[in-house]
Every structure is written in C-alpha cells, then in structure tokens.
Structure 1
Amino acid sequence: MDFFKPEIEGLIVITPKIFKDERGYFFESYNKKVFEDAGIVSNFVQDNQSFSVKNVIRGLHFQAPPHAQAKLVRAQRGKVWDVAVDLRPQSKTFGQWFGVELSEENQKMFYIPRGFAHGFSVLSESAVFQYKCDNFYNKESEGGILYNDAVLNIDWKVPFGGEIVNEKDKSYPWFEVYKKQPFFN
C-alpha cells in the first residue's frame, strides 16, 4: 500500500496494491498493522454505506467531541470527489480543505482523523460510498458547515446550479459562525 500525506496534517490518502488477472482483482482494503505502521491508529467500531446519484453533495458533516469520529472512506462503486476541512483551531491549516477523487477504478481510500468536517460529491451516474468510523454516531453531537461556504470556497466538481443537496445540509451555518465557537481544541 502507498500512504500519501498531503499538506494538511493527519490526512492520508491510501492506494492499495491491486492484484489483477483474467478473473478480476483482489486487494487488501484494511490491515490494522500496516495502517498503524503508517500512522493510522484508530479502533474502528462502525461501518456506514450510502448510495447517491450524480451531482449529489453530502456534507460538510462532523461529530463534535466527545463523539468526534475519525473516518476511513472509499467509493465501492462509481466515482466521488471527497473533501475534508480542518476544524482544529490550533492547527496551522485551520479552515483549509483537501480533496481527492475516490473511485472503483483507483480503489483509493482516504483517512480523515478527528477534528475535520467531511463531505463528498458524486461525479459518476451513481456511487456507493463506504466509511469506517472510530466512534459511534451520536445525534446530539452532529454538526455541519454549509457546503457552499464562500470562505472555504470548495470546488465540488459539480455544475453550478446542478447540485443536489438535502435541506439539512443547506441549513448548516457558514464557516465564520463555526470559527467563533469551535468544538475541536
């Protein structure tokens, strides 16, 4: 496996070694020891899966402490643009985002530690998206930032005006509101 660490500390893009032949392919999607050797020390306790159609944007979501979650995400089917926003006020990259394309073709995975908001957009006709979490979901700790926040200026790679976003995600506050009352320290 290849572990790429972008400029934002804690984020890791994982590219598995894929073994292909006339039957199809095989790859190891998770190995606790290999991941720990690469700096990913998380005890995953919950797996989630979603199905979405083209131009759907889900996010930006997070769980506030003490129910914050680290996530290991991937597109099992289709193609998504996956985004993480640094919400750690003490971080030198606070308020910055990083995006990566995850697809059934490239089989990349994205590790997002606690202290980040997360979202994705669907670039293919549909996508099945999977994520492992290191803490259980807690409704009272659920939070989010408006997906089209002007300060964050995230390029979701979806045609402007063509995005499909649910009402809950449209109701989240701007990043400026979050900056005044951060959850992660």
Structure 2
Amino acid sequence: MALPRQQTRTVAGVTYTLTRRRVRNINLRVRADDSVAASAAPRVSVMKVDAFVASKADWVRSAQARVAARREQEAAQQPELPTRAEALAHIQVLCRAYYPQFAATCPGGHMPKIAVRDMTTRWGSCSLKTGTLAFARRLCVAPLPAQEYVVVHEFCHFAHPNHGPGFWAAVAAVMPDYKARERLLKQM
C-alpha cells in the first residue's frame, strides 16, 4: 500500500505537514505563515520523522516566535491605508491641480475619469481607450512629491502612450526633479 504523499501530524506540541519526496535527509522548516513542514523519503518511517520533529520542538517554537515578531514589525511599519473614498478624494484633488497643464492632451479636452484601486504591482495606470487614470490606494501614504510624480507620469501617457524619449521629456518639462521623486517611490 502506498503512503499518502502529504499528511498533517502533531508531536511534542508541534503540528506539521509531512510531505513524501525523494530527499536524502529529513528536512524541517518553519514557513513565513508560521506553519511547519517536514519532508522525508517514502522509505523513512513516520515514527522516525515524529522523533526527529520532537527533537527539534524547541527550535521550531523559537523559529515561530521569530516569524511572529517579524510579521508584527512589518505590520507596525505599514501605514494604515485610507478608505477607498478618502483615497479617491485625495487623488482627485491632486489630479485637478495638474489637469490644466494637460487639458490639451486629455481625450476630448476633458478632465479624465479618476479611479482608485488596490493595485500591488504598480502605482498608477492610464487607459487611453476609456480616458481613465487609475491609481493605487497605497499611493496615498507615499510622500506627497512621489504622489505628484505618479499623477504627472500618468497624465503624460495621454500624449505619449509609451516610455520613449518623448514621454520622459514631457515628464521633465512639468517636473524637472522627477527622478528624485521616482526614487522616493522605489524606497517604499
């Protein structure tokens, strides 16, 4: 009868997931989510894996405490995001301040639609098709010069849909210090 590829077990107060793999040793790790994982070859008995995990119980608890402390520290460093409505109101104020410089390049010469989304891989986006500028909600907790840079960057996409030399010249014409502001974003 074949052994189950994965099973959850508890020994010495440690709950762990045992995965059967082609490995030479019994491997034990505490994951970033605080869970414990062990891997062993199919030929290694469950009792031997349990004994190994029990012998490392103090190390597991110590590693879990370090993971919990790291998560707490990261949570404390993350500023609280505004609500979606608050973020939208804030970004709209910034966009209205810069709109007059870009009115001629906006679709139809009208103020674009402004949206706020929970984006994690970008700070903003420009849709030429819908005439919409969308911004990450987390942008609202960035330094104000960085926020302004993202607004200008996205407005410039109406005239230059790519990141070619003309685009960067347009950004520099409105915001000569854009590189320093861009660095602020990269630090976040």
TM-score (norm. length: structure 2): 0.23
Q: Relative to total residues, which structure has the larger helix share, 1 or 2?
A: 2
| Higher RCO, Cα 8 Å, sep 6+ | 1
Q: Relative to total residues, which structure has the larger strand share, 1 or 2?
A: 1
Structure with the greater alpha carbon radius of gyration: 2
TM-score (norm. length: structure 1): 0.23
